[in-house]
């Protein structure tokens, strides 16, 4: 099939390419591995290279299923699409070749494939998926009475096969990859830093003379293997594996400026399977730490004035201390932080980490006895706070605050994060960093941590992050071997600060 005509777009260019079906023979796993081996560079890596950002993978998959479920005329046999690791690996192998054509030739006979490439301003993979689907405007669906026996080709535009592959009813697996090609020959022109998207599909679609799907009541003609299960107009197996979506809370926290007088670094032991530190870390000023050590009697108003609050470490033995608390769930500001955490149920007498969020003025506070702690009532209006549990999450080098815990008032909190070693040299496409000291929330958390100097690249380690409201300008700089980029007047997103955890 001839390639599609280019779409000329301001500040960049986007091209799309698709492949029609020629036969239907799925290779087995060993055959796919032999194909992949021809495209591997043979170098040993300490950890596997991601073919596509996890967030992009989720967006591509969710958008495909959304679009497949809303076709018109309505489909009666449209199958739910899931992510396939084997297809992702083959897409990655082909994307690495930086060839603007379908391939490899041995594999393309048995899979479907959509391609797109662009340069210039950033465009998410979902932008290309939507562009493929938008070919529907030039496509007229062939109804059964028109197919005698073969269905006519009803495409009024340059190409419709991107669209038909996306909505081919029996195509139920997809795997994609993105690669930045330093130089790529696109129909005789050399594009520098071209962003190349490859999506492979199985079973392949675009069979000549066939309609992409059957029309009728949703799920009324699903294959028997689906057991009659239907979800969002798609044939869907109830036990089908679905990729876990990164937790994105609606609320995250911002904290006060640390108070140096009473601040102590928090001891947090690495898991046994994490690499131990080989050398003494650089001395860090108190301002580098978000978490503060407090006593059982420390009141919220003693540590938090005029803003939302920090993360605190409570000692053991607070269950029987003398610190008073007022209220239930919402606690008055003169309450003991640690005893409120026990009363609420997020800590026990062993102590631990607790996050606090200010809730503003509350008219009254109700007494109760919970978890062995008695709280008192207060009938006068006063400032209140809530406590929340601190979780720990291990990330890769690519996760951003926007994916993990973006800023949105009223605030909640981010987990304590463990970053792997060797994020410094990840390319900016996969792990961008925008700003200095305060970073855009589209930045890689762990690479920003190296830039800020809160962890050493060769070891990785724990960090605390504090989502904050966005800045108008983020200034780039070269620090600790990481070059961050500048960003002016971002249209969306917020920001974050990052803090060390004493290990």
What whole-number distance in Å separates Cα of residue 276 and Cα of residue 267? Answer: 15
**Residue 59: is it exposed, middle or buried by C-beta count within 10 angstroms (0-12/13-18/19+)?**
middle
Q: Which CATH class is domain 292-389?
A: mainly beta
pLDDT at 7: 37
467 touches 496 (CB < 8 A): yes
In the numeric block, which tokens belong to residue 33? 């591995």
**Alpha-carbon Rg for the chain in angstroms:** 27
Question: For the domain bounded by 54-235, which CATH number is listed?
Answer: 3.40.33.10
pLDDT at 36: 34
What stretches of 288-442 show up as alpha helix (H) in DSSP? Answer: 300-303, 337-344, 401-404
Same fold, 54-235 and 392-500: no
Q: What is the pTM of this model?
A: 0.45
What whole-number distance in Å separates Cα of residue 406 and Cα of residue 363? Answer: 30
Domain segments of the chain: what residues? 54-235, 292-389, 392-500
Q: Single out the residue of 494, 500, 407 nearest to residue 448, CA to CA.
A: 500
Question: For the domain bounded by 392-500, which CATH number is listed?
Answer: 2.170.130.20
How do the pLDDT tens digits run along the chain, 503 residues long? 434 333 333 334 556 665 433 333 233 333 334 333 333 343 333 334 567 888 888 889 999 999 999 999 999 999 999 999 999 999 999 999 999 999 999 898 899 999 999 987 778 888 899 999 999 999 999 988 888 889 998 898 888 999 999 999 999 999 999 999 999 999 889 999 999 999 999 999 999 999 999 999 999 999 998 888 898 899 998 644 444 333 333 332 333 333 333 333 333 333 444 444 444 444 444 445 778 888 999 988 876 654 446 788 999 999 999 999 999 888 999 999 999 999 999 999 999 999 888 888 888 898 899 999 999 999 888 988 888 888 888 889 988 888 887 666 656 578 899 999 999 988 888 899 999 999 998 999 999 999 999 999 999 999 998 888 888 999 999 999 999 999 988 877 888 999 988 75
Q: Which helix (H) or strand (E) holds 373?
A: strand 373-374
351 touches 318 (CB < 8 A): yes
């Amino acid at each position: 099939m001839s390639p599609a005509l280019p779409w000329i777009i301001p500040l960049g260019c986007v091209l799309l390419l698709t492949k029609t079906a020629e036969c239907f023979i799925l290779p087995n796993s060993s055959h796919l591995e032999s194909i992949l081996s021809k495209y591997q560079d043979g170098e040993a890596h300490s950890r596997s290279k991601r073919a596509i950002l996890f967030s992009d993978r989720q967006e591509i998959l969710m958008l495909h299923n959304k679009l497949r479920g809303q076709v018109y005329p309505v489909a009666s046999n449209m199958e739910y699409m899931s992510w396939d690791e084997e297809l992702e690996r083959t897409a990655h192998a082909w994307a690495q070749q930086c060839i603007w054509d379908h391939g490899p030739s041995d594999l393309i006979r048995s899979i479907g494939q959509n391609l797109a490439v662009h340069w210039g301003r950033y465009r998410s993979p979902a932008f290309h998926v939507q562009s493929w689907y938008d070919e529907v405007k030039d496509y007229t669906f062939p109804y059964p009475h028109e197919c005698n026996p073969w269905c006519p080709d009803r495409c009024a535009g340059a190409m419709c096969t991107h669209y038909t592959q996306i909505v081919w009813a029996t195509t139920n697996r997809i795997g994609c990859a993105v690669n930045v090609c330093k130089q790529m020959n696109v129909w005789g022109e050399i594009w520098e830093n071209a962003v190349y998207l490859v999506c492979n599909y199985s079973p392949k679609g675009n069979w000549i003379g066939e309609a992409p799907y059957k029309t009728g009541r949703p799920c009324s003609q699903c294959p028997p293997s689906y057991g009659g299960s239907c979800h969002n107009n798609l044939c869907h197996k109830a036990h089908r594996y679905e990729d876990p979506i990164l937790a994105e809370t609606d609320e995250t926290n911002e904290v006060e400026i640390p108070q140096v007088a009473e601040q102590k670094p928090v001891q947090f032991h690495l898991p046994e399977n994490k690499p131990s530190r080989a050398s003494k870390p650089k001395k860090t000023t108190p301002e580098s730490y978000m978490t503060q050590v407090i006593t059982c009697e420390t009141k919220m108003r003693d540590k938090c004035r005029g803003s939302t609050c920090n993360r605190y470490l409570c000692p053991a033995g607070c269950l029987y201390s003398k610190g008073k608390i007022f209220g239930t769930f919402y606690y008055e500001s003169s309450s003991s932080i640690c005893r409120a955490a026990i009363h609420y149920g997020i800590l026990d007498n062993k102590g631990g980490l607790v996050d606090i969020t200010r809730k503003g003025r509350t008219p009254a506070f109700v007494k109760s006895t919970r978890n062995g702690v008695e709280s008192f009532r207060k009938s006068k209006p006063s400032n209140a706070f809530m406590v929340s549990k601190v979780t720990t999450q291990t990330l890769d080098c690519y996760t951003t605050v926007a994916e993990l815990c973006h800023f949105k008032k009223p605030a909640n909190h981010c987990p304590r994060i463990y970053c792997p070693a060797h994020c410094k040299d990840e390319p900016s496409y996969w792990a961008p960093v925008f700003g200095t000291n305060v970073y855009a929330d589209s930045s890689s958390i762990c690479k920003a941590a190296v830039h800020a100097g809160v962890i050493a690249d060769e070891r990785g380690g724990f960090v605390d992050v504090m989502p904050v409201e966005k800045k108008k300008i983020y200034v780039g700089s070269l620090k600790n071997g990481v070059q961050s980029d500048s960003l002016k007047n971002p249209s969306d997103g917020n920001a974050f600060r990052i803090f060390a955890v004493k290990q």
